[in-house]
C-alpha cells in the first residue's frame, strides 16, 4: 500500500523520535517451521547444530493458520502505515499450503508481499496470478552443483536443476526476483560467479549476506585468510563484473559486514537500530518479535492481547528505549536487519546535513 504524504512524514518523525506514530511499515510472518533442505548456516535445520539446539519434530511440523494470519493482518491494516509483508519461515514458507491464499489476502487489502524462499516447492503460477505487488527473494547460495549441494546439506537430489527450472519460469513470465546469496566457507569462492549467474537468470538485485553463525553452525565459518581473500580479491572482482554488466548488488554494504576479528557480521554500534517503529516479526506460534532476532520477544498475540496492544504496550516501549540508548543484545552483533539499519542511518545523516545547510543560509 503506497503511503500518503502525511504517513511518510509521520513515519520519518516516528523514526527520529523513536515513537510508534503508525503501525509498522513491514511485518515479517513466519508461516512454516519445516523445510525441504538443510542449509548448513541455518539456525533451525543445519546438520551442524549442537544437539541441544536441534528442534523437535513437533516444532518442525507447525504452520501458521490462515485464520491467525487474517486476524493479525486486519489489526495491522486498521493501525495504518503497513506497506509490505514478508512471508517466510524458520523453514521455507512453501511448506504452508495456504501460502497462495495468504498472498491473495494481502493483495486484496492493497499490501505488497515479499516471499523469502528457496523457490523449490513454490506454486509459481498461483503466486504470480495474485495480481498485487510481489517480490521474491530467492535463496541461491551456490551456482555450481557441487557448491549448491554442499551449502544445502546434500538434502535434495537435483536441487539446483529444480531451482533453475523455477527461475526459467520466472524469466519466461518477465518477472524479476531478487537473488539472495548467504556467504560461508563453502561458497565464498563463487562470489564473482554469483554475479555472472544473474546474466542468464535476470534479477532486480543480488543481496549478499554474510552468514550469521551460532549454536554449532560456526563449523562453516570463513577463516581470517578467506575473509581477507573476499575483501582483497573476490568482492572487487564481483563488483567489476556487476558494473560491466549493469547488475545491481549490495556489495558495498556487504563489505562492511566482513569482520576479520570475529564471527560478528554487523557493526551495529556504528549505525544504530531503527527497527522499533518500522518492522517486526510474528512467528508460527504468534510470538511477536521486536525484529528478526528471536532473542528479543515482546510477547504473544492472542484474542485477548492483540497486535495493537503489544505494539503500544510498555514492553515494546521499554525495548525501543533500551536499543536507542545503545544497550544492545549480544546477538545484535549478527543483526539480520543490518542493511536496513545502515540505509536509515545514512538517510538520517543526510537529512541532518541538509537541515544544517539550510539553517546555515
> Can you give the pLDDT at residue 263?
60
Name the residue with cell 528442534: 55
**pLDDT tens digit at each of 361 positions of the chain:** 678 888 888 988 888 999 999 999 999 999 999 999 999 999 999 999 999 999 999 999 999 999 999 999 999 999 999 999 999 999 999 999 999 999 999 999 999 999 999 999 999 999 999 989 999 999 999 999 999 999 999 778 899 999 999 999 999 999 999 999 999 999 999 999 999 999 999 999 999 998 889 899 999 999 999 999 999 999 999 999 999 999 999 999 899 888 766 565 667 888 889 899 999 999 999 999 999 888 899 999 999 999 999 999 999 999 999 999 999 988 887 787 777 888 888 888 788 777 767 776 5
Q: Are strands 26-30 and 84-88 parallel, antiparallel or unpaired?
A: parallel
Query: Strand ranges (DSSP E) for the chain?
Result: 26-30, 84-88, 112-117, 134-139, 178-183, 205-210, 279-282, 287-289, 297-300
Burial of 235 (0-12, 13-18, 19+ CB in 10 A): buried
> Can you give the pLDDT at residue 264?
59
> Can you give the pLDDT at residue 175?
98
Q: What's the chain's length in residues?
A: 361
Q: Are strands 112-117 and 84-88 parallel, antiparallel or unpaired?
A: parallel
Our count of domains for the chain comes to 1
> Can you give the pLDDT at residue 188?
98
Q: State the residue range of the domain holding 106.
A: 5-360
| Residue 209 bridge partners (DSSP) | 182
- The CATH number linked to 87 is 3.20.20.70
Phi, psi of 256 (to 5 degrees): -70, -15
Amino acid at each position: 500500500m503506497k503511503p500518503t504524504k502525511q504517513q511518510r512524514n509521520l513515519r520519518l518523525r516516528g523514526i527520529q523520535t523513536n515513537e510508534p506514530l503508525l503501525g509498522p511499515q513491514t511485518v515479517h510472518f513466519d508461516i512454516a517451521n519445516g523445510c525441504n533442505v538443510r542449509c548448513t548456516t541455518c539456525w533451525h535445520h543445519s546438520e551442524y547444530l549442537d544437539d541441544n539446539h536441534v528442534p523437535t519434530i513437533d516444532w518442525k511440523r507447525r504452520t501458521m493458520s490462515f485464520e491467525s494470519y487474517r486476524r493479525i493482518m486486519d489489526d495491522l491494516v486498521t493501525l495504518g502505515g503497513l506497506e509490505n509483508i514478508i512471508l517466510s519461515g524458520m523453514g521455507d514458507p512453501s511448506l504452508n499450503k495456504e501460502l497462495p491464499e495468504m498472498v491473495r489476502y494481502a493483495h486484496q487489502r492493497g499490501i505488497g508481499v515479499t516471499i523469502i524462499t528457496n523457490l523449490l516447492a513454490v506454486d509459481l503460477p498461483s503466486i504470480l496470478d495474485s495480481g498485487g505487488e510481489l517480490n521474491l527473494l530467492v535463496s541461491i547460495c551456490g551456482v555450481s552443483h557441487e557448491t549448491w549441494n554442499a551449502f544445502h546439506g546434500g538434502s535434495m537430489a537435483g536441487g539446483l536443476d529444480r531451482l533453475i527450472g523455477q527461475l526459467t519460469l520466472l524469466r519466461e513470465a518477465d518477472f524479476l526476483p531478487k537473488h539472495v546469496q548467504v556467504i560461508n566457507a563453502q561458497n565464498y569462492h563463487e562470489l564473482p560467479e554469483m554475479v555472472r549467474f544473474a546474466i542468464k537468470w535476470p534479477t532486480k538485485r543480488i543481496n549478499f549476506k554474510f552468514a550469521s553463525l551460532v549454536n554449532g553452525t560456526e563449523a562453516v565459518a570463513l577463516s581470517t585468510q578467506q575473509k581477507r581473500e573476499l575483501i582483497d580479491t573476490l568482492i572487487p572482482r564481483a563488483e567489476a563484473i556487476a558494473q560491466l554488466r549493469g547488475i545491481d548488488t549490495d556489495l558495498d554494504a556487504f563489505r562492511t559486514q566482513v569482520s576479520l576479528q570475529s564471527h560478528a557480521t554487523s557493526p551495529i554500534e556504528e549505525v544504530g537500530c531503527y527497527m522499533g517503529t518500522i518492522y517486526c516479526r510474528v512467528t508460527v506460534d504468534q510470538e511477536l518479535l521486536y525484529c528478526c532476532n528471536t532473542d528479543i520477544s515482546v510477547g504473544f498475540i492472542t484474542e485477548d492481547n492483540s497486535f495493537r496492544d503489544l505494539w503500544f504496550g510498555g514492553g515494546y516501549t521499554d525495548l525501543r528505549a533500551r536499543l536507542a540508548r545503545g544497550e544492545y543484545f549480544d546477538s545484535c552483533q549478527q543483526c539480520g536487519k543490518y542493511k536496513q539499519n545502515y540505509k536509515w542511518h545514512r538517510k538520517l545523516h543526510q537529512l541532518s546535513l541538509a537541515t544544517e545547510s539550510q539553517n546555515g543560509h
